């Protein structure tokens, strides 16, 4: 079954930064439910995706390859193929992503066009459900990616604040920014300076004290990776949307049945 899909999501950084983020496949892979990277060799990525639908569990292993990286136009193209590890089902896709500045200029809108071809059990989901499933999946990926970027940005700001505080302390104490205090080069120079000092003032003379070294600024531990779902739980992407569609229909049907019963009772009373 072949189908064309169009989706979009927003990344909370400008296009230049979003470009580097989206090409770092190993880092952003945990943001996609059920996806994992097995190896990266240049522009070729080996990976797998786990999908779960109630008692049905599927695992696809395959290869994705960047076929275009046009930084000037901020366009990325990928070819991907995969096969079920315990079945005959296959999946292949040609994906084109375009990055454009958002309304504020501090964000990036990523538009994705996917030509997808699926065989086997997932093809039974039907054309009407796959667009909804892909939309929900992209939305979850965007939410996780935003959380990861926000955590990394907060960590970088903490490091910058700690560095600035260390430099301010060093300036106030007169010590070099590196925290290494100056000292006489040799013990002989120190002894000579002491001998030349007046005797009456030697008792009260203040002895230079080396400034306390400024502790090196330590980077806080990296923000925890996005907690990834072990498998793409298609139940909430497929069954739940179906129920949402059926519930209004069932409600209308129930209301119609109730009206019919009331109408019949009123007619029987009149007769």
Question: pTM for the complete prediction?
Answer: 0.62
Q: What 3-state class would DSSP assign to 36? A: strand
Residues 6+ apart with CB under 8 A from 192: none
Cα gap 213→5, rounded to integer Å: 60
Question: What is the chain's mean pLDDT, rounded?
Answer: 74
Q: What are the domain boundaries of the chain?
A: 2-152, 233-270
Q: Whole-angstrom Cα distance, residue 16 to residue 266?
A: 71
DSSP state of 105: S
pLDDT at 51: 81
Segment among 53-57, 180-184, 261-265 with least mean pLDDT = 180-184
Q: Give residue-wise pLDDT tens across range 228-246.
A: 555 556 555 555 454 454 4
Under the banding of pLDDT at 50, 70 and 90, the label for residue 183 is very low
Residue range 17-31, pLDDT digits in tens = 999 999 999 999 999
pLDDT at 123: 73
Cα separation, 121 vs 99, in Å, equals 33
CATH T-level fold of 2-152: Alpha-D-Glucose-1,6-Bisphosphate; Chain A, domain 4 (3.30.530)
């Amino acid at each position: 079954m072949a189908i064309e899909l169009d989706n979009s999501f927003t990344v909370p950084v400008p296009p230049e930064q979003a470009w580097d983020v989206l090409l770092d496949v190993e880092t952003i892979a945990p943001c996609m439910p059920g996806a994992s990277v097995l190896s990266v060799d240049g522009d070729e990525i080996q990976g797998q995706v786990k999908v779960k639908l109630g008692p049905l569990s599927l695992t696809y292993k395959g290869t994705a390859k960047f076929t275009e990286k046009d930084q000037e136009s901020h366009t990325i193209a990928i070819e991907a193929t995969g096969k079920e590890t315990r079945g005959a089902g296959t999946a292949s896709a040609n994906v084109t992503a375009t990055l454009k500045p958002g309304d504020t200029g501090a964000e990036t809108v990523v538009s994705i066009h996917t030509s997808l071809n699926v065989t086997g059990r997932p093809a039974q989901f039907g054309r009407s459900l796959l667009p909804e499933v892909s939309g929900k999946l992209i939305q979850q990926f965007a939410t996780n990616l935003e959380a990861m970027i926000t955590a990394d940005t907060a960590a970088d700001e903490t490091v910058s604040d700690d560095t600035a505080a260390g430099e301010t302390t060093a300036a106030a104490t007169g010590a070099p920014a590196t925290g290494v205090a100056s000292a006489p080069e040799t013990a002989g120079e120190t002894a000579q300076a002491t001998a030349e000092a007046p005797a009456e003032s030697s008792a009260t003379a203040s002895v230079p004290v080396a400034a306390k070294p400024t502790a090196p600024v330590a980077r806080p531990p990296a923000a925890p990776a996005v907690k990834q779902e072990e498998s793409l739980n298609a139940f909430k992407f497929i069954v739940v949307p179906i129920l949402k569609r059926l519930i209004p229909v069932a409600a209308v049907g129930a209301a119609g049945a109730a009206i019919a019963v009331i109408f019949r009772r009123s007619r029987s009373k009149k007769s």
